Amino acid sequence: MNINRHFSLRPYNTFGIDARADFFASFHTMEELEEAISEYGRLSAAGHQNDILILGGGSNILFTRDYPGIVLKNDISGITVVREDDQHIYLKVGAGENWHGFVRYCIDRGFAGVENLSLIPGKAGASPMQNIGAYGVEIKDVFHELEAFHIKEKAVVRFSAEDCQFGYRESVFKHTYKGVFVILQVIYRLHKMPVFNTSYGAIEEELERMKVTELSLAAVSQAVINIRRSKLPDPEQIGNAGSFFKNPTVSAEKYAVLSTLFPGIPGYPSGEGVKLAAGWMIEQCGWKGYRSGDAGCHGRQALVLVNYGNASGKEINQLSEQIVESVQEKFEVMLEKEVNII
């Protein structure tokens, strides 16, 4: 097992932050994962499970410091059919598979359910962890089960959708089991006959612009890709991690008060409350297009914080704290960060 020391993580996080890991290794199998953990324990007398950080595509993480432990990059690959019936096909996907690559795999074979999640950066293993979602679809809608490795007990555990406790950009792996398990494989349940979801956002408008007369998985996917590219910066060009904040949910009573104070404030029914548009509130506070040094708030989408070149993670996090404070002061609504801060 090749373990690197004092390793730069700049190429491995989409913010492009030049943090360093005391130790770094990649693994392609569960056996390599076990070997890396064991070797790390031998190399570092202080080594224990809390010093282990599992990295996928690095698209939802902000390093504000060097990492004083080992970073293990999950490169488990492979897509296999595990079973199928008249309506569904079940695909087991390695946690290290590129997410958009998997979406393309499904579209090319006529498997429906993830086309609205096109162009989301990152790896398949992070999809249930974050319960990623976009344009009216979330991972929980196509999730069947996953296999995860318990770091301390060195055992493989299966998780059902119920076990994962999915919420809005949430799962049990973000809190209760953070740092406890490593996701190895995810099994998705895709539809053989598509049920198109085009009512969310500007999908229908984009399909019209594209002059699509007959709906297809590829057409919906391309519409989503076009919309995302028009709004979100390419991490290859400008460092970012997509939406930095979650859209907050408030009570109907709170929304009624906000609507009176701020006519035109967007709100969408969500469960027992109303989901607000965090980007709209951030823009109303004057942050859209803001830049201080190389840390900034994107000019087309206020939900996205960016690194224009050499911003530190601390500078970007400080900017996020300023934004949270100003939104709280203006709207009395607390924004929650979607990006994991290290």
Task: Pick the catalytic residue from 97, 145, 206, 338.
Answer: 338
Measured distance between the N- and C-terminal CA atoms of the chain, rounded to whole angstroms: 26
pLDDT above 70 as % of the chain: 98
Write the DSSP string, 279-321.
HHHHHHTT-TT-EETTEEE-SS-TTEEEE-SS--HHHHHHHHH
Task: Pick the catalytic residue from 26, 127, 145, 169.
Answer: 169
Q: Are 91 and 81 in contact (CB under 8 A)?
A: yes
- Assign 50 a pLDDT band (cuts: 50, 70, 90): low
Q: What average pLDDT does range 320-329 have in this prediction?
A: 98
Long-range contacts made by residues 309-314, C-beta under 8 angstroms, separation at least 24? Answer: 309/239, 311/17, 311/239, 312/17, 312/64, 313/15, 313/17, 313/19, 313/62, 313/63, 313/64, 313/65, 313/342, 314/64, 314/65
Residues 37 and 68 in one domain: yes
Residues 115 and 174 in one domain: yes
Which has more pLDDT, 45 or 211?
211
Angle between the N-to-C axes of helices 99-108 and 217-231, in degrees from 0 to 180, rounded to the nearest 10: 150
CB atoms inside a 10 Å sphere around CB 254: 17
Distance CA 295, CA 297 (A): 7
**Residue 115 counted as domain residue:** yes
Residues 85 and 158 in one domain: yes
Residues 179 and 86 in one domain: yes
Q: What is the pLDDT of residue 1?
A: 73
- Assign 336 a pLDDT band (cuts: 50, 70, 90): very high
Domain ranges, residue 70? 4-74
Average pLDDT, the chain: 93
CB-based contacts of 138, cutoff 8 Å, min separation 6 = 131, 132, 166
**Residue 221 counted as domain residue:** no
- Assign 45 a pLDDT band (cuts: 50, 70, 90): low
Instruction: Phi first, then psi: give them for residue 326, nearest 5 degrees.
Output: -70, -35
Task: Pick the catalytic residue from 59, 243, 312, 320.
Answer: 243
Q: Read off the amino acid at residue 314.
A: K
Residues 179 and 88 in one domain: yes
Residues 84 and 13 in one domain: no
- Assign 186 a pLDDT band (cuts: 50, 70, 90): very high
Helix, strand, coil distribution of the chain in percent, nearest 5 = 30, 30, 40
Q: What is the pLDDT of residue 292?
A: 95
Active site residue 169: yes
pLDDT digits (tens, 9 = 90+) for 246-262: 999 999 999 999 999 99
pLDDT above 90: residue 21: yes
Q: What is the pLDDT of residue 17?
A: 96
Eight-class DSSP state of 170 = B
CATH number for 171: 3.30.465.10
The domain boundary, picked from 191, 223, 256, lies at 191
Q: What is the pLDDT of residue 48?
A: 52
The domain boundary, picked from 191, 217, 252, lies at 191
pLDDT digits (tens, 9 = 90+) for 124-172: 999 999 898 888 899 999 999 999 999 999 999 999 999 999 988 889 9
What are the beta bridge partners of residue 25? 72
Residues 59 and 98 in one domain: no
Residues 336 and 246 in one domain: yes
Residues 94 and 28 in one domain: no
What are the beta bridge partners of residue 156? 149
**Residue 196 counted as domain residue:** no
Q: What is the pLDDT of residue 11?
A: 94
Active site residue 326: no
CB-based contacts of 311, cutoff 8 Å, min separation 6 = 17, 239, 293, 294, 295, 296
Active site residue 77: no
- Considering only CA atoms, which of 323, 337, 233 is closest in space to residue 280? 323
**Residue 205 counted as domain residue:** no
The domain boundary, picked from 191, 213, 248, lies at 191
